[in-house]
Chain A
Amino acid sequence: MDLTAEEVRKIAFLARLHLTDEEIETYARQLSAILEYAAQLQEVDTANIPPTATVLPLTAPLREDTIRPSLPQDEILANASSSEEGMFQVAPVLEQEP
């Protein structure tokens, strides 16, 4: 299972990673090896196994619909590299093509 440079570029775009051509070549090789390793799972006969989302014997607990205090605005905004009018400020958002 060989990933092409184009596929690696697309994956990098989805993860918002900027990779050099050399890195793309390296990761194409490494990712292909990982996929190949994981592909062994395809050999397991799963015909009689129901689809499984988790292996833990758990059920999601539900919480009552009650309000708890939120964080103060300045504490939340302390995580922003920059803010304006009480809002997180980011570079103008334009969806980019890969």
Chain B
Amino acid sequence: MTEFEPIIGLEVHAELQTRSKMFCGCAVVDSVSATANTRVCEICTGMPGTLPVINRRAVEFAIRVALALHCEIAETSIFARKNYFYPDLPKGFQISQYELPLAVNGWMMITTNGEEKRIAIRRVHLEEDTGKLTHRQTNSLIDYNRSGVPLLEIVSEPDLRSIDEVRAYAIALRSLLRFLEVSSADMEKGVIRFEANISVRPQGAEILGTRTEIKNLNSLRAMAQAISYEIDRQSRLLANGQEVRQETLGWDEGLKVTVPQRGKEEAHDYRYFPEPDLPPLHLERSWIEEIRAKLPELARAKRQRYVDELKLNPYTADVLTNEKDIADYFEATVAAAPDLPAQQIGHWIGGPLFSLLNDAGIKIRETLISVEQLSELIGLVELGKISNSSAKAVLTEMFASGAGASQIIEAQGLEILADSAIIDGHIEKVLVEFPDQVQQYLLGKEPIFEWLFGQVMRATSGRSDPQRLRQALARQLRALDKRQPPA
């Protein structure tokens, strides 16, 4: 059977986290929890006699994203009316950008299976979000709180060739929006939404096949499933000598199939024309450069710096830079404890703390452990006051109760045994308790050393410094025999 290659492009819509809406002063609120239709005014409902005025911060956020995506920013861009009748907008049109968008021709790097790939960005433009419809059997209910919220549309070229690449692109873009602090990019709440264009062609072919568009992909999993289904469906059609119909599809989450959406209006039916209520948007070069100068460090640059300058291993650097909040927490801890090695801080956050967060299913900003408390704990390990294994137990307790490290160590008597006489005492007891094992060891069964080591460690409740315990145990065994035990 012919092998088919998928050609995929993504269109991403992200609500910008401005305080007020795109063209009016209504507050931007959480569309899931806010009381319906309480953040609506004459302007966002398009009442006669009102005029929209562009939100400066929304433009700034859009420029931030366009710069981070290496786009060319238009010094003059225009807004357009996209006309359609659907109750999600009370005006009969959406203010969007069509010709002369805010930015074009950018790119973003993605990594899949260790391979780097550059994905071209066709355009980035500003528009307004629509209201939220709740469909019922007998009626539809509309909440216009979301209507007029600044929405950024980011369109990629059809450069993606696999589900892995789609996922990597989506995650990279979400991370970019979060690191730039322009959007919460929360998929569950619909703050960021994806649409995919998909076609397939025989492996090695030059021309593109007929494409379909899948709308309303509201989770990464749904997106992966829908695209995968669509690739199979199109490949089967072509393999059977049939044709793919150009159409807009939806993803049926229950049946796990793509289904044609009815009555989708073709692009020219939107009858775009320049928005008469808004003059062209002129951007001063100096303002764009000012925004560029203030761009924060993004995930990829951070990861590189953690590896190159802070000497973190690539895996830890990855874990720490996947989420902005984790990177912020790490950097705050490094800043709070400049004397501690950054690798150790990275290890404790990317390892034990990260596991605790995952197991509890909470975000790092919800943790009870302050960066000062964490650096205190790591400091105690570095000073040799507690053992590594005790420290893990202390961290778990800190995570659960929010108590400080010293307090827990004192309360539970976890401080490392500094007195060698006490350690020697524990060793003597163990050697007396297990004469058979000691005998076996002395007869040359060397792995027994580790077993005895474990017994003593347990007897001291993990409070021994492994290095010192090892030496002390070796010394006592040597005293019982002239033989040389392993180091």
Binding site for B on A (CB under 8 A): 10, 14-16, 51, 53-54, 56, 58-71, 73, 76-77, 79, 84-98
Within 8 A of A (CB), among B21-61: 24-27, 35-42, 45, 53-59
A87→B31 CA distance, assembly (Å): 13
On chain B, the residues within 8 Å of A71 by CB distance are 40-42
Binding site for A on B (CB under 8 A): 18-20, 24-27, 35-42, 45, 53-59, 78-79, 83-87, 99-100, 133-144, 261-265, 269, 271, 274, 276, 278-282
Q: Are A77 and B37 in contact (CB under 8 A)?
A: yes
A15→B85 CA distance, assembly (Å): 7
User: Which of A54, A87, A92 is within 8 Å of B143, CB to CB?
Assistant: A87
A53→B264 CA distance, assembly (Å): 28
Sorted nearest first, the 5 A-B pairs with minimum C-beta distance are: A68-B25, A58-B279, A95-B263, A65-B57, A62-B56
A58→B139 CA distance, assembly (Å): 44
Which A residue's beta carbon lies closest to that of B262?
Answer: A95
On chain B, the residues within 8 Å of A87 by CB distance are 36-37, 134, 141-143
A56→B144 CA distance, assembly (Å): 32
Q: Are A92 and B140 in contact (CB under 8 A)?
A: yes
Instruction: Check A88/B142 contact, CB under 8 A, given A14-B85, A60-B278, A65-B57.
Output: yes
**Most chain A CB neighbours (cut-off 10 Å) among B35, B45, B263, B271:** B263
On chain A, the residues within 8 Å of B59 by CB distance are 62
Would you list 10 pairs from A and B whose C-beta atoms are within 8 A, ordered by A residue?
A14-B84, A58-B279, A63-B56, A64-B57, A65-B57, A68-B24, A70-B27, A86-B35, A89-B139, A90-B139
On chain A, the residues within 8 Å of B261 by CB distance are 95
- Tell me, rounded to whole Å, the shortest Cβ–Cβ distance linking B24 to chain A: 7
A51→B100 CA distance, assembly (Å): 10
Q: Are A79 and B141 in contact (CB under 8 A)?
A: no
A95→B45 CA distance, assembly (Å): 22
Q: Are A67 and B140 in contact (CB under 8 A)?
A: no
Q: Are B18 and A65 in contact (CB under 8 A)?
A: yes
Q: Are B45 and A76 in contact (CB under 8 A)?
A: yes
- Tell me, rounded to whole Å, the shortest Cβ–Cβ distance linking A25 to chain B: 22
Q: Are B281 and A60 in contact (CB under 8 A)?
A: yes
On chain B, the residues within 8 Å of A66 by CB distance are 19-20, 25
On chain A, the residues within 8 Å of B278 by CB distance are 60
Instruction: Check A59/B279 contact, CB under 8 A, given A53-B100, A65-B56.
Output: yes
Q: Are A93 and B140 in contact (CB under 8 A)?
A: yes
A90→B274 CA distance, assembly (Å): 30
User: Which of A68, A70, A95 is within 8 Å of B38, CB to CB?
Assistant: A70
A70→B84 CA distance, assembly (Å): 25
Q: Are B279 and A88 in contact (CB under 8 A)?
A: no
On chain B, the residues within 8 Å of A60 by CB distance are 54, 79, 278-282
On chain B, the residues within 8 Å of A54 by CB distance are 78, 274, 276, 279-280
A97→B282 CA distance, assembly (Å): 40
- Tell me, rounded to whole Å, the shortest Cβ–Cβ distance linking A59 to chain B: 5
A26→B133 CA distance, assembly (Å): 37
- Tell me, rounded to whole Å, the shortest Cβ–Cβ distance linking B50 to chain A: 12
A77→B143 CA distance, assembly (Å): 10
- Tell me, rounded to whole Å, the shortest Cβ–Cβ distance linking B260 to chain A: 11
Q: Are B136 and A92 in contact (CB under 8 A)?
A: yes
Q: Are B20 and A68 in contact (CB under 8 A)?
A: yes
On chain B, the residues within 8 Å of A65 by CB distance are 18-20, 55-58
